[in-house]
Amino acid sequence: MRESVQKKRNSTSAAKQLAQMREKLASISERERVLGERSAAREVYRYLLDSHRLTAPATFLGGVLNISLSGVNEGGQLAA
């Protein structure tokens, strides 16, 4: 009788640990997904900015629009 109670406790404990591990893995997966989306969005932004710079007339870029990379931080985001 005592053994069956002990086995039940162990299986309940193992089930709880497994549920916690699944929650943690789901959380990690969600974080990785969000970070991947952010990274992809940054790459798209850089690509579009570069293509705009290449297609814009040189006089427009030189005279009216003065694009400087000093406002961009290491993460590729514009500073506020």
Closest to 69 (Cα-Cα) out of 44, 41, 48, 50 = 50
CB count in 10 Å sphere of residue 52: 12
What is each CA distance from 38 to 14, 47, 70, 75, 76, in whole angstroms?
36, 14, 21, 10, 11
CA 28, 33, 36, 38 torsion-angle sign: negative
- Looking at the predicted structure, is the pLDDT value of residue 76 above 70? no
Contact 48, 56 (CB under 8 A): no
Q: Per residue in 18-75, pLDDT tens? A: 999 999 999 999 999 999 999 999 999 999 999 888 887 765 555 555 555 555 555 5
* Residue at token pair 């069956």: 4
Q: Per residue in 6-17, pLDDT tens? A: 777 777 888 999
pLDDT at 80: 45
